[in-house]
Amino acid sequence: MRCPFCDFADSKVLDSRPVEEGRSIRRRRECLNCNKRFTTYEKLEETPLIVIKRDDRREIFDANKLLRGLVKSCDKRPVSINVLEEIVVDIEKELRNSYEKEVPSILIGEMVMQRLRLVDEVAYVRFASVYRRFDDIYNFVEELGKMLKDVKDDDLTKKTISQWVHIKNNNN
Ligand SMILES: [Zn+2]
């Protein structure tokens, strides 16, 4: 279970408890590298939810990966990890209620953007600009990291928004 802050692979479990009528286990963890705390939800014997990408490839939906993407989008923004965890739980619940087994990745991206927009405009623009360009809820994470690196805080919003405008213009 990778740390959503530093990507380190090992963490210790502080607390475990069943949620959603015992269908999943909520674990409070602490990263062994950066010591930050985060929550994971581990599903018990549940049919995997399959994500269909635009090129028709399939992959298993991974709530923790999605959370890492959201954490990156909110880098240096006043958004608590609890809010992001709630977004992920909410999306997964909605997906499982509305879809049999497979769900298009585009739809997940749109669901994230709808929610993120209400939480933080800058995080929303970051997520949207990278996501729309790469059309992939997971693989954009690396790109987002590159985008945020070596950019001064003050310039960050301006730079992100100018990229966003650029992408929109190219699409029109
Ligand atoms: Zn860490």
pLDDT at 88: 92
| Residues 79, 154 within the same domain | yes
pLDDT at 69: 85
| Residues 145, 91 within the same domain | yes
CA of 88 relative to ligand 1 center, distance in Å = 19
Domain residue limits at 34: 1-46
CA of 8 relative to ligand 1 center, distance in Å = 5
Beta-carbon neighbours within 5 Å of ion ligand 1: 3, 5-6, 8, 31, 33-34
Strands (E), the chain: 11-19, 24-31, 37-43, 50-52, 58-60, 102-104
| Residues 31, 51 within the same domain | no
Consecutive 10-residue runs of the chain (172 residues): their mean pLDDT?
A: 89 86 82 93 75 87 87 89 91 82 86 90 83 59 59 50 50 43
Shortest CA distance to 17 belongs to which of 25, 7, 9, 6? 25
Helix (H) / strand (E) element for 2: namely none
| Residues 5, 38 within the same domain | yes
Domain count, the chain: 2
pLDDT at 6: 93
pLDDT at 26: 87
| Residues 80, 119 within the same domain | yes
Give ∠ CA 69-31-73 in degrees, rounded to 5. 20
CA of 33 relative to ligand 1 center, distance in Å = 5
| Residues 3, 65 within the same domain | no
Q: For every residue of 102-139, which 3-state class applies, written as one string?
A: EEEHHHHHHHHHHHHHHHCHHHHHHHHHHHHHHCCCCC
